[in-house]
Chains A and B, each alone.
Chain A
Amino acid sequence: EIVLTQSPGTLSLSPGERATLSCRASQSVNSYLAWYQQKPGQAPRLLISDASNRATGIPARFSGSGSGTDFTLTISSLEPEDFAVYYCQQRNNWPITFGQGTRLEIK
């Protein structure tokens, strides 16, 4: 099973700042890496698929990069609605696995 480790566990930033979230895989997942945003009481929302492809309707301030084992989700300038929990997910190998999440909180 591929283990995804997200860092940091919690990120405290202010609106307007840049957020950089990391996801590291225990072995290569090529580019089969997705990112999700989840707000309390809501279902996750797909942000990025295939490491760097923004999903439909996702603002341009969200971007993904990386391949192999190291991936990054960047939010260029935080909006108030961006404070949430973010998960990465891989499907290079079965089983599909998720990272443990990064909580992005308002400083």
Chain B
Amino acid sequence: EVQLLESGGGLVQPGGSLRLSCAASGFTFSNFGLSWVRQAPGKGLEWVSAISTSGANTYYADSVKGQFTISRDNSKNTLFLQMDTLRVEDTAVYFCARVLSSYRAFDIWGQGTMVTVSS
């Protein structure tokens, strides 16, 4: 079964850091681009970041550029999101998603991990 499983969410104070992980199974991980999408409580979907199959190319929303870093370890079938200098407005459920070629759609999603930034 094709599956993505996020972990690493939790409660963090403003200015703190958190590293999210997304473990993949059931498909050839290195053949697919990947992405993070977040959803603030009661709000819509917001794309956060994407990474190419090799990790050589990365893309970020302006709202997180310079603050978040996406990476992947193809030997461990795992995607990461390093989140630094967290703000209250970063509070959201963070989903990892597999992308179709050219990043044109997200065909497989994880169940999400909740990140709460609060003092």
A residues within 8 Å of B by Cβ? 1, 32, 34, 36, 38, 42-46, 49-50, 55-56, 87, 89, 91, 94-101
Give the shortest distance, in Å, between A90 (CB) and chain B (any CB).
Answer: 9
Residues of A within 8 A of B111 (CB): 42-43
User: Which B residues are in CB contact (< 8 Å) with A43?
Assistant: 95, 109-112
**CB distance B62 to A44 under 8 Å?**
no
Contact status B109-A97, CB under 8 Å: no
Tell me the B42-81 residues at the A interface (CB within 8 Å).
44-47, 50, 59-62
A46, A49, A96: the one contacting B47 at CB < 8 Å is A96
Contact status of A87 and B104, CB under 8 A, knowing A43-B109, A44-B109, A95-B62: no
Contacts of A95 in B (CB 8 A): 47, 59-62
Whether B104 contacts A32 by the Cβ 8 Å rule is: yes
Among A42, A94, A96, find the residue whose CB has the most chain B CB atoms closer than 10 A.
A96
State in angstroms the CA–CA spacing of A99 and B112 once bound together: 20
CA distance A94 to B103 in the complex (A): 10
Chain B contacts to A: CB under 8 angstroms = 35, 37, 44-47, 50, 59-62, 95, 100, 102-107, 109-112
A98 touches B104 (CB 8 A): no
Given A43-B95, A49-B100, answer yes or no on A98-B44 (Cβ-Cβ < 8 Å).
yes
What's the Cα separation between A49 and B102 when bound, in Å?
Answer: 12
Bound complex: CA of A89 vs CA of B104, how far in Å?
Answer: 9
Let me know if B44 and A34 touch, CB within 8 A.
no
Looking across the interface, which residue of chain B has its beta carbon closest to that of A101?
B44
Residue pairs across A and B with Cβ atoms less than 8 A apart, 20 shown, are A32-B102, A36-B45, A38-B45, A43-B109, A43-B111, A44-B45, A44-B95, A44-B109, A49-B107, A55-B105, A87-B44, A89-B45, A89-B47, A89-B105, A94-B59, A95-B60, A95-B62, A96-B35, A98-B45, A101-B44
Q: A43-B95, A49-B100 are in contact. Are A55 and B107 (CB under 8 A)?
A: yes
- Decide: A91 and B102 in contact? CB cutoff 8 A: yes
In the complex the two chains form, is A34's CB within 8 Å of B106's CB? Answer: yes
Give the contacting residue for A34; candidates B46, B61, B105; CB below 8 A: B105
